[in-house]
Chains A and B, each alone.
Chain A
Amino acid sequence: MSQLRFAVPFGVPSVLVLAALALLLIALGFRELSGVEPPGRRRGLLALRVASALMAFLCAAQPQWIVQRVEELPGRIAVLLDSSRSMQIRDGGEDRLSRAVQAAQRFYDGARDKPALFGFGADAQPLARAQLDAKQLTPGDDTRIVRALSTLTNGQMPELGAVLLISDGADRSPSFDPSQLGRLGVRVHTLVVGEAAEQRDVAIESVRIDGAAFLRQPVNIEVTVRSTPTAHDPVTLSLRSGSELVRETSIHFDDRGLATAQLSLIPTRLGRSVYTLSVPADADDTVPENNERAFQIEVTRERLRALLVCGHPSWDARFLRALLKSDPAVDLITFFILRTQNDNSLAAPDELSLIPFPTEELFEQHLKSFDLIIFQDFDFAPYQMARFLPRIHDYVLNGGSFAMLGGDRSFGAGGYGSTPIAEILPVTLPERAPYVEESEFAPDVAIEAAHHPLVELAPRLSDNLSAWQKLAPLSGVNLVQGLRRGAHALLVHPQLTAANGQPMPVLSVHSPGRGRSLALTTDSAFRWGMATAGRSGDASAYERFWDRALRWLARDPLLDSAQISTDRPSYGPASAMRVSLWLRDELYRPLSPGPFRLTVHDDRGQLVAEASAETDSEGRASLSLLAPPRPAAYTIAVQKEGAQQSLAEQGFVVEAGGDELANPRARPDLMRQIAEATGGEHWSAGAELPDASRLASSRTRALGNDVYTPFGGVAAFAALLVLLGLDWWARRRAGLR
């Protein structure tokens, strides 16, 4: 293996400049010597010029040839045995796995230098000889040949010389390209098991679903069903949610044996839902498992429905409304109280654009339509709203979100102290004046809450505190008695204290019942935008704060403090699954390391598996589990050891068929391509493998590099001088200067 490079500083750019200079010298020579006679002398002078320019270029550019020295060593063979679900298929008398195991046993037992044994489905796992038994092998999940080969070549076996891959080749991963396997740097011999001949099978080959599912919006599903042989009567495709039939349609196969159906469903509830698609299995269907597919969709609201009620027009209301209106993810209804009983508009009602405040419509008929209600400096009493306040209280306890923003009509000053609203707020309210403090202040971030997304303007604590201090100061604050039990202060007043001596909360959050609430006790938060932008040119802090606040109030899963995720949405029965945890408390601090309990429940609520996990100092953990054996929808949840309530949950599906069995015919063509791309040998189904000693299995070891720099020595420099001297002498002889 050799390589060319240039030793001149700055590499290729320098070489290009030097080459251009050499060409310029040659071009000038041509121009200067064009009048020299006779032609023989001219050609001689030109040859000298070209030679000296070329030599000068080579001496300056310093080309180097680097030759790698390697030695060939005998390598060890690894047998990579496919134990994926497609290997369970019977192509005739025996299933593919049994035939593969028998071939591997014969190869292993006949070898003098015993090969290493690995089984693979989605991942490669070492096997002992005793495990080379079709009944003892843990079934793998989907066939992933590249991943399994990469596991062996990435340091798992330093002495690896060659791989013997025994598989049906039914790898349906979309990016699988056998021609790229030469890059692995290891020879792969292949033995295919299973017949390429097509069996009788009707299969749901693919299911494509819209990327996102929104409540009450149609979700489109494209289903492709394949029939083998291609001629088949029409079949009925059914879509079910649990046992409930959602859609049913008859599908007709084309000449290629393919039928495509477009279905749509309209989700009517938020959260995760599992659906199944099925076609009837004929009596002689070889793989009845692939006549059914399951999928789950996570239903969210397309847009956050927010109600903003402002007690009067103000700059704080104007900037918040403009921000919410500009957010395409927010469906906003705003009501401003434009005139109170004390105002005299000097106009007849028909000269005004005012409408009555529709309290009953908003807070009785449509209350549950909203995801979020914001009271911005709004006092309820003048609008006979006392009777609606218990409804708002219940709305929050049942999962709604509520925010109260400051002003002299808000919090205690708005008379909320003894109303049901007080019970859902994060702060407790004073019963008597003073209700407000007017002085200007810059709020402090509560240190324990510095990583809460609402106040995390920068990831590093010191940067975050500094960023908050750079914002324009606030003007005035609503006085509160303190925090409600279970609530958290995120921003606090730098001087004022609550009744318990703690700093007075300015921004606080709470999770009453199943809902969420936020209290911002100032009416000048808009100064984090425009006034700050006037100082620094950056208005993003205001936008970022409200964007995060809205997402937190709307329970955006990305802002969940505790998260659990699986590496895939669906698995084969009893296949390996990888589960990741990131567990933080309500202030987004890593939960103290300790055992956490993972539980897996099926769709009937039965506990089917348990495990425990230890988190690291960041609250993260990753562990491997086996998927349940029964095809169904499952929920995996994590709890603190001994606690009942889940910190986080995630759904997944176990399918008997899935992608792996959607088109399970053996692929000898792919197996041949793998061997050809890597320099290995290929054997067809039923062929007898040769003795291990006859398989090419050498490996190479790098011994070092030899570097040759032919124009770097004194000789090259002397040759250049000689050429330049000759050029000068010949030109003089020709009468040139």
Chain B
Amino acid sequence: MSPRIQLGSSPALRSRRSRRAGRWAAICAGLVASLWLGASLLGLRAPAARAIGERTAVELRTVDYAGGNAAPRPNAAKRLAWEVRQRTSVETRLETTLVRLSDASVYDSPLLYWSGDRAFPPLSEAELQGLARFVDFGGFVVIDDASPDDNGFDASVRRELARAFGARALVRLDNKHVIFRSFYLVARPVGRVEGPAYVEGVERAGRLALVYTRHDLGGAFERDNLGNYAHAVLPGAERQREQAFRLGVNLVLYALCLDYKDDQVHAPFIMRRWQGDRERWGRARP
């Protein structure tokens, strides 16, 4: 063990150094506290993602497209990811990315958030094919109209969905659909605006593959850089905003669990039936 060496110094020098060190410590502590507070306000302090590696955590990728506004609510997807992580056991990625439907990497993450606030020109054939293949291979798309008061984005979305899936593919979903009870019990869809009492969707191979909402969910989720909500929610204010978050959480849970909540209704009955089987026929051998 090496001997300890003490450097000699005068008491005055030690005192000056001590005061200087105290100031630096205070400045550093303040800086750390500010960063912590800022991060908290921005909603960026979160438990680490628990999947093996970031790639398997759930990411809400935003669809990028030409000619319109692909990100009218720039941090809405991130906000929703944060809320899902806080409220449920789902492990989400807080850093979200933009992706084109024609990009080969679109298949890496099976959940897309597609938003806009104005009309956009027709998608390319490659993008249309990418959308259809994404859905057919198991992906789930949430389309959110950020300007439900005008029909620009709405008309463009309907045109593209008709091109990709056929004119009658988009259908209204009533409030008994499992998306309204995949985590929260949600009575009706709302977002920044109250909007229609329904959402629409496209079903493929017996599952809901795409949801289209005209409630500006992203507008209800959006916060500014100081952590304040960016848009007023009308007419229901904060209670309506909470309902919007619950619908958003439900959509993510549906993407991950599909009709699991339908199973839950049936499971006790199925198990009781099996129990009855065993009582009637003796113990089953596995």
A residues near B (Cβ < 8 Å) are 215-216, 266, 268-270, 305, 311-319, 321-322, 325-326, 331-334, 336-340, 342-347, 350-355, 361, 365-366, 368-371, 377, 395, 398-401, 406-409, 436-440, 472, 475-478, 515, 522-524, 527, 529-531, 533-535, 537, 539
Contact = CB atoms under 8 A, between A and B. Distances in A.
Given A343-B89, A406-B52, A476-B53, A215 B183 contact: no
Contacts of A472: 108
B110 A315 contact: yes
B285 A270 contact: yes
A20 to B, nearest CB: 45
A395 to B, nearest CB: 7
Contact of B271 (A347, A366, A409): A366
Contacts of A321: 257-258, 260
A440 B270 CA distance: 40
A312 B52 contact: no
Interface stretch (B13-21, B194-202, B274-282): B274-282
Contact of B108 (A354, A395, A531): A531
B184 A347 contact: yes
B184 A312 contact: no
A351 B184 contact: yes
A513 to B, nearest CB: 11
A369 B274 contact: yes
A399 B286 CA distance: 6
Interface in B236-286: 242, 246, 253, 255-261, 263-264, 267, 270-271, 274-275, 277-278, 280-286
A268 B281 contact: yes
B277 A313 contact: no
A406 B181 CA distance: 28
Given A321-B260, A336-B257, A529 B55 contact: no
A535 B88 CA distance: 32
Nearest to A346: B87
Nearest to B258: A322
B286 A345 contact: no
Given A343-B88, A345-B184, A368-B283, 5 more contacts: A361-B271, A368-B284, A523-B51, A531-B108, A534-B133
A544 to B, nearest CB: 15
Interface in B44-61: 47, 50-56, 58
Q: 9 nearest interchain CB pairs?
A: A534-B107, A476-B52, A313-B256, A476-B53, A475-B55, A438-B53, A312-B89, A353-B181, A400-B286
15 contacts: A216-B277, A270-B285, A311-B89, A314-B51, A321-B257, A339-B89, A345-B183, A347-B184, A353-B182, A368-B286, A398-B286, A401-B286, A437-B52, A475-B52, A524-B52
Given A475-B53, A524-B55, A346 B89 contact: no
Nearest to B259: A325
A353 B87 CA distance: 13
B52 A352 contact: no
Contacts of B282: 268
A357 to B, nearest CB: 11
Nearest to B90: A313
A353 B246 contact: no
Given A321-B260, A365-B275, A369-B278, A535 B255 contact: no
B185 interface: yes
Contacts of B54: 438, 475
B137 A439 contact: no
Contacts of B231: none
Contacts of A316: 56
A699 B257 CA distance: 76
Contacts of B182: 353
Contacts of B261: 353
B275 A395 contact: no
Contacts of B47: 342
Interface residues of B, number: 60
A534 B138 contact: no
Given A315-B256, A333-B263, A530 B110 contact: yes
Nearest to A525: B56
Contacts of A370: 286
B144 interface: no
B104 interface: yes
A407 B53 CA distance: 9
Given A315-B110, A338-B253, A531-B108, A476 B56 contact: yes
A176 B138 CA distance: 53
A314 to B, nearest CB: 7
A334 B285 contact: no
B220 interface: no
A333 B284 contact: no
Given A318-B257, A343-B88, A408 B52 contact: yes
A351 B207 CA distance: 25
Interface in B203-254: 206-207, 242, 246, 253
B35 to A, nearest CB: 23
Interface string B111-147: 0000000000000000000000110011100000000
A584 B126 CA distance: 49
A400 B256 CA distance: 28
Given A270-B285, A318-B255, A313 B89 contact: yes
Contact of A313 (B53, B88, B108, B271): B88
B154 interface: no
A353 B184 contact: yes
B89 A539 contact: no
Contacts of B185: 350-353
Contact of A529 (B133, B134, B137): B137
A278 B77 CA distance: 74
A318 B90 contact: no
Interface in B15-71: 47, 50-56, 58
A316 B271 CA distance: 25
A319 B137 CA distance: 10
A371 B285 CA distance: 9
Given A318-B255, A353-B182, A533 B55 contact: no
A371 B284 CA distance: 10
Contact of B51 (A268, A345, A476): A476
A215 B284 CA distance: 9
Contact of A216 (B58, B270, B281): B281
B86 interface: yes
Contacts of A312: 50, 89-91
B167 to A, nearest CB: 26
Nearest to B83: A346
A314 B274 contact: no
Given A399-B286, A535-B104, A438 B274 contact: no
B106 interface: yes
A269 B55 CA distance: 46
A331 B269 CA distance: 13
Contact of B91 (A314, A436, A527, A539): A314
Contacts of A352: 183-185
B124 to A, nearest CB: 17
B267 A333 contact: yes
B227 to A, nearest CB: 17
Contacts of B90: 312-314
A371 B286 contact: yes
A407 B58 CA distance: 14
A598 to B, nearest CB: 27
Contacts of B207: 322
Contacts of A371: 286
Q: Which of B107, B109, B242, B278 has the most CB of A within 10 A?
A: B107
A347 B139 CA distance: 29
Contacts of A343: 86-89
A372 to B, nearest CB: 9
Contacts of A440: 53, 55
Nearest to A337: B89
Contacts of B134: 534
Nearest to B91: A312
Nearest to B105: A534
Contacts of B263: 332-334
B88 A319 contact: no
